[in-house]
Chains A and B, each alone.
Chain A
């Protein structure tokens, strides 16, 4: 972790040497993310509720999905470049360094310009909380769910990276899970089909990013009627997924070293 922080700091200083380019990318990233908010605004200019949730609640869910997603995106999404590293041969160079490959890839060419998205999600969450008036007795869950969300999204990026050891020629597949996961969690899960919700509860635990703990914060009954205890299980789900992701990553690296692709 210390090595990772030192590495991204070095890359940040390198990026700061081109301030205009950096500012431009930051603005561009923030504007792109702003479009998602514009989309929510357009949806709610046509309706007052979506999937049984009003605009403040949807903004709350958007914020509690967007904040961990954008943090994970900022810090670890470089792992989806693994197939580029494999094809360019730079992965070999990483294997002769005495640091874990995940840390090296995540830190490689780090730029902080995606930080604009973190800020944007935090603002949406702040606005939602100001409108919702959540009691302090339930608000404690918010930092917990953001932390668990970061772990869950980071694990999905690691799983996507591990998948690229197999699908080196089709790295775009992982976008369906990483960015797809980010998109899915932006809206209340009631809008999706029941099978999809079961899938993201029991298989790929995206429901534990903001849906289950979010129901607790919002003080709402589960529209799908799933057990009440699920809303406190985010830490367990995050830990389990992180373990799976760590094994998958190791298996991917081992496969690379035994096939020499």
Chain B
């Protein structure tokens, strides 16, 4: 047997390729630790400011939306903790830059699908930013104002799954936004639209549970809720766990499929039609 085939059989190259990409994404972001520390600091400051506004609101309306004050404070710091790993303000993908420079043509002819390639790198990035930008504001919030700490291991497990799905959904959305730049001359407008949708309808600005009806129900059914609001509710024990995870999985599947379709269309446009 030629050595190539033996290697192919003993070591599944695909899996190791993606594991390698995850590692690469992690390491690449680990070199910018100063920026991550600065981000964590800023997330903490904004967490404290927003938490106080929520405290004032819940003082005036105890039990609003099914949360008590500690739930509201916890919600606030959790959402600040999502900003780094889920890149709530947009961006974080190399794809967008490579489309702008035209290097995307090289990526599209690689045998590995671009979507999975980018996802693997993004998961590495999210892993690093979870450590560098999610833990500090959460710990600071717990020390300064006090947050809910679930005692049940099952809640932690459900939260871990929900958080991971949230990252995949955020990737799916950002990938679609980045891919759309293939067809747009000026992508800044789309970037801002995405920013508005993501910050407002995810629950980052205010918890969706206090949105007036029917805005609350509509926002709750959209993919952005699956990024921020749903994992927070799972953490707080306010969600029906199987239903919440199924809702997130559905949006993850929809966004990734859409991303794959866009990749195919982009390949046709860039590789076959020559840009």
Contact = CB atoms under 8 A, between A and B. Distances in A.
Given A32-B192, A43-B206, A38 B60 contact: no
B143 to A, nearest CB: 14
A192 interface: yes
Given A38-B200, A42-B210, A180-B49, A25 B57 contact: no
B137 to A, nearest CB: 11
A258 interface: no
Nearest to A31: B196
Contacts of A46: 57, 61, 64, 210, 212
Contact of B42 (A25, A169, A172): A172
B18 interface: no
A169 B256 CA distance: 34
Contacts of A167: 34, 38
A39 interface: yes
Contact of B212 (A42, A173, A190, A193): A42
B188 to A, nearest CB: 6
Q: Which of A24, A31, A42 has the most CB of B within 10 A?
A: A42
Contacts of A196: 48, 52
Nearest to B205: A39
A42 B56 CA distance: 14
A137 interface: no
Contacts of A49: 60
Nearest to B212: A45
B205 A21 contact: no
Given A43-B53, A180-B46, A169 B206 contact: no
Q: Which of A39, A170, A192 is the most central at the interface, judged by chain B CB atoms within 10 Å of its CB?
A: A170
Contacts of A15: none
Nearest to B37: A170
Interface of A: 20-21, 24-25, 28-29, 31-32, 35, 38-39, 42-43, 45-51, 167, 169-173, 175-176, 180, 183-184, 187, 190-193, 196
Interface of B: 32, 34-35, 37-39, 41-42, 45-46, 48-50, 52-53, 55-57, 60-61, 64, 186, 188-189, 192-193, 195-196, 199-200, 205-206, 210-212
Given A39-B206, A170-B37, 15 more contacts: A29-B192, A42-B211, A43-B53, A47-B57, A50-B56, A51-B56, A169-B35, A173-B41, A175-B42, A176-B41, A176-B46, A180-B49, A187-B56, A191-B56, A196-B48
16 contacts: A25-B188, A32-B196, A35-B205, A38-B200, A48-B60, A50-B53, A170-B34, A170-B35, A170-B37, A171-B35, A175-B42, A176-B45, A187-B53, A192-B49, A192-B52, A196-B52
